[in-house]
Structure 1
Amino acid sequence: MCTNLPSVRSAEDEVFAELRRRLVREAVAALPGRCPELVAALAEDPPPTYREIAERLGMPRGSIGPTRARCLACLRVLLHAERYA
Protein backbone atom coordinates (compact mmCIF):
# COMPACT_ATOMS: atom_id res chain seq x y z
CA MET A 1 0.00 0.00 0.00
CA CYS A 2 1.32 3.44 -0.92
CA THR A 3 1.17 5.86 1.96
CA ASN A 4 2.92 8.78 0.27
CA LEU A 5 0.12 9.51 -2.18
CA PRO A 6 -1.70 12.80 -1.59
CA SER A 7 -5.31 12.42 -0.55
CA VAL A 8 -7.77 13.67 -3.12
CA ARG A 9 -10.90 15.32 -1.79
CA SER A 10 -14.00 15.57 -3.89
CA ALA A 11 -15.70 18.87 -4.58
CA GLU A 12 -18.47 17.74 -2.25
CA ASP A 13 -15.94 17.10 0.55
CA GLU A 14 -14.51 20.60 0.05
CA VAL A 15 -17.97 22.20 0.20
CA PHE A 16 -18.84 20.36 3.42
CA ALA A 17 -15.48 21.21 4.97
CA GLU A 18 -16.00 24.90 4.21
CA LEU A 19 -19.52 24.74 5.62
CA ARG A 20 -18.17 23.22 8.86
CA ARG A 21 -15.49 25.93 9.10
CA ARG A 22 -18.12 28.65 8.57
CA LEU A 23 -20.45 27.16 11.20
CA VAL A 24 -17.62 26.97 13.73
CA ARG A 25 -16.54 30.56 13.00
CA GLU A 26 -20.13 31.77 13.45
CA ALA A 27 -20.56 29.79 16.68
CA VAL A 28 -17.28 31.15 18.07
CA ALA A 29 -18.39 34.70 17.23
CA ALA A 30 -21.66 34.08 19.09
CA LEU A 31 -19.90 33.04 22.31
CA PRO A 32 -20.35 35.35 25.30
CA GLY A 33 -17.79 37.67 26.88
CA ARG A 34 -14.12 37.09 26.14
CA CYS A 35 -14.74 33.63 24.73
CA PRO A 36 -14.40 34.59 21.05
CA GLU A 37 -11.01 36.21 21.66
CA LEU A 38 -9.83 33.39 23.92
CA VAL A 39 -10.87 30.63 21.51
CA ALA A 40 -9.29 32.51 18.60
CA ALA A 41 -6.03 32.90 20.53
CA LEU A 42 -5.97 29.22 21.44
CA ALA A 43 -6.53 28.30 17.79
CA GLU A 44 -3.52 30.29 16.57
CA ASP A 45 -0.66 28.32 15.07
CA PRO A 46 1.50 28.17 17.07
CA PRO A 47 -0.74 28.94 20.04
CA PRO A 48 0.47 31.68 22.37
CA THR A 49 1.42 30.81 25.92
CA TYR A 50 -1.11 31.33 28.70
CA ARG A 51 1.06 34.23 29.88
CA GLU A 52 0.79 35.88 26.46
CA ILE A 53 -2.96 35.30 26.36
CA ALA A 54 -3.35 36.70 29.87
CA GLU A 55 -1.48 39.85 28.90
CA ARG A 56 -3.36 40.23 25.61
CA LEU A 57 -6.83 39.74 27.13
CA GLY A 58 -6.10 41.39 30.49
CA MET A 59 -7.10 38.37 32.53
CA PRO A 60 -5.34 36.39 35.26
CA ARG A 61 -3.28 33.51 33.87
CA GLY A 62 -4.87 31.12 36.36
CA SER A 63 -8.35 31.83 34.99
CA ILE A 64 -7.52 30.94 31.39
CA GLY A 65 -7.93 27.17 31.82
CA PRO A 66 -11.30 27.33 33.59
CA THR A 67 -12.54 30.03 31.21
CA ARG A 68 -11.38 27.93 28.26
CA ALA A 69 -13.35 24.96 29.59
CA ARG A 70 -16.51 27.06 29.96
CA CYS A 71 -16.08 28.59 26.51
CA LEU A 72 -15.59 25.21 24.85
CA ALA A 73 -18.61 23.77 26.68
CA CYS A 74 -20.70 26.68 25.42
CA LEU A 75 -19.30 26.21 21.92
CA ARG A 76 -20.30 22.53 22.01
CA VAL A 77 -23.85 23.51 22.97
CA LEU A 78 -24.06 26.05 20.14
CA LEU A 79 -22.70 23.63 17.56
CA HIS A 80 -24.97 20.84 18.78
CA ALA A 81 -27.99 23.17 18.53
CA GLU A 82 -26.95 24.20 15.01
CA ARG A 83 -26.60 20.58 13.98
CA TYR A 84 -30.16 19.81 15.03
CA ALA A 85 -31.78 23.12 14.07
Structure 2
Amino acid sequence: MCTGLPTSPSAEDEFLAERRRRLVRNAVAALPGRCPQLIAALAEDPPPTYQEISERLGMPRGSIGPTRSRCLACLRALLHAERYP
Protein backbone atom coordinates (compact mmCIF):
# COMPACT_ATOMS: atom_id res chain seq x y z
CA MET A 1 0.00 0.00 0.00
CA CYS A 2 1.38 3.42 -0.95
CA THR A 3 1.12 6.02 1.78
CA GLY A 4 2.51 8.86 -0.28
CA LEU A 5 5.24 9.47 2.28
CA PRO A 6 8.85 9.47 1.13
CA THR A 7 10.78 6.46 2.31
CA SER A 8 14.20 6.66 3.83
CA PRO A 9 16.97 4.52 2.37
CA SER A 10 17.64 1.41 4.36
CA ALA A 11 20.88 0.96 6.24
CA GLU A 12 21.90 -1.58 3.61
CA ASP A 13 21.21 0.91 0.79
CA GLU A 14 23.25 3.59 2.55
CA PHE A 15 26.10 1.14 3.14
CA LEU A 16 26.13 0.05 -0.51
CA ALA A 17 25.99 3.64 -1.76
CA GLU A 18 28.93 4.61 0.45
CA ARG A 19 30.86 1.53 -0.73
CA ARG A 20 30.27 2.53 -4.38
CA ARG A 21 31.43 6.09 -3.68
CA ARG A 22 34.57 4.77 -1.96
CA LEU A 23 35.32 2.39 -4.85
CA VAL A 24 34.98 5.20 -7.38
CA ARG A 25 37.13 7.60 -5.31
CA ASN A 26 39.85 4.95 -4.94
CA ALA A 27 39.73 4.05 -8.64
CA VAL A 28 39.95 7.72 -9.68
CA ALA A 29 42.93 8.21 -7.35
CA ALA A 30 44.64 5.19 -8.95
CA LEU A 31 44.34 6.56 -12.49
CA PRO A 32 47.59 7.50 -14.23
CA GLY A 33 48.90 10.97 -15.03
CA ARG A 34 46.47 13.86 -15.01
CA CYS A 35 43.42 11.63 -15.08
CA PRO A 36 42.50 12.11 -11.40
CA GLN A 37 42.59 15.90 -11.77
CA LEU A 38 40.72 15.83 -15.08
CA ILE A 39 37.99 13.51 -13.81
CA ALA A 40 37.62 15.60 -10.64
CA ALA A 41 37.29 18.78 -12.71
CA LEU A 42 34.70 17.21 -14.99
CA ALA A 43 32.70 16.02 -11.97
CA GLU A 44 32.39 19.54 -10.51
CA ASP A 45 28.96 21.11 -10.39
CA PRO A 46 28.75 23.05 -12.55
CA PRO A 47 31.54 21.58 -14.64
CA PRO A 48 34.20 24.02 -15.79
CA THR A 49 34.54 24.80 -19.47
CA TYR A 50 37.24 23.08 -21.49
CA GLN A 51 39.02 26.45 -21.58
CA GLU A 52 39.02 26.61 -17.77
CA ILE A 53 40.25 23.01 -17.54
CA SER A 54 42.95 23.79 -20.09
CA GLU A 55 44.20 26.71 -18.04
CA ARG A 56 43.92 24.88 -14.71
CA LEU A 57 45.67 21.69 -15.83
CA GLY A 58 48.01 23.24 -18.38
CA MET A 59 46.85 21.04 -21.22
CA PRO A 60 45.78 21.99 -24.75
CA ARG A 61 42.02 22.37 -25.08
CA GLY A 62 41.98 20.00 -28.04
CA SER A 63 43.48 17.18 -25.98
CA ILE A 64 40.91 17.31 -23.18
CA GLY A 65 38.24 15.26 -25.02
CA PRO A 66 40.57 12.44 -26.11
CA THR A 67 42.27 12.41 -22.70
CA ARG A 68 38.86 12.30 -21.03
CA SER A 69 37.92 9.27 -23.16
CA ARG A 70 41.13 7.43 -22.24
CA CYS A 71 40.73 8.28 -18.55
CA LEU A 72 37.13 7.08 -18.47
CA ALA A 73 38.07 3.85 -20.26
CA CYS A 74 40.79 3.25 -17.69
CA LEU A 75 38.37 4.09 -14.87
CA ARG A 76 35.81 1.61 -16.24
CA ALA A 77 38.48 -1.09 -16.39
CA LEU A 78 39.57 -0.42 -12.80
CA LEU A 79 35.99 -0.46 -11.53
CA HIS A 80 35.18 -3.61 -13.47
CA ALA A 81 38.25 -5.34 -12.00
CA GLU A 82 37.23 -4.21 -8.51
CA ARG A 83 33.69 -5.44 -8.94
CA TYR A 84 34.63 -8.81 -10.39
CA PRO A 85 38.04 -9.74 -8.97
What range describes the TM-score normalised by the shorter chain of this pair? over 0.9
Is 1:40 paired with 2:40?
A: yes
Q: Which runs of 5+ in 1 are unaligned?
A: none
- Identical amino acids, percent of aligned pairs: 82
Q: Tell me, in whole angstroms, the C-alpha distance in 2 between the residues paired with 1:42 and 1:9.
A: 28
Specify whether residues 48 and 5 from structure 1 end up closer, same or farther in structure 2 by C-alpha distance, changes over 3 A only. Answer: farther
Give distance in 2, aligned partners of 1:7 and 1:35. 37
1:68 is matched with: 68
Which residue of structure 2 lines up, in the alignment, with residue 78 of structure 1? 78
Give me the TM-score of the superposition, normalised by structure 2: 0.92
Question: Structure 2, unaligned stretches of length 5 or more?
Answer: none
CA deviations over 1:12-33 (Å, ceiling 9, x no partner): 0000000000000000000000
In structure 1, the residue matched to 2:49 is 49
**Alignment partners' CA distance in 1, 2:83 and 2:14:** 18
TM-score by length of 1: 0.92
Pair 5,67 (structure 1): closer, same or farther in 2 beyond 3 Å: farther
Q: How many residues align?
A: 83
**How many Å apart are 1:68 and its aligned residue?**
0.2
What is the CA–CA distance in structure 2 between the aligned matches of 1:53 and 1:65, rounded to whole Å? 11
Aligned position for 2:58: 58
> What displacement does 1:8 show?
2.0
Root-mean-square deviation (CA), in Å? 1.3
Deviations 1:30-79 (A, max 9, x none): 00000000000000011000000000000000100000000000000000
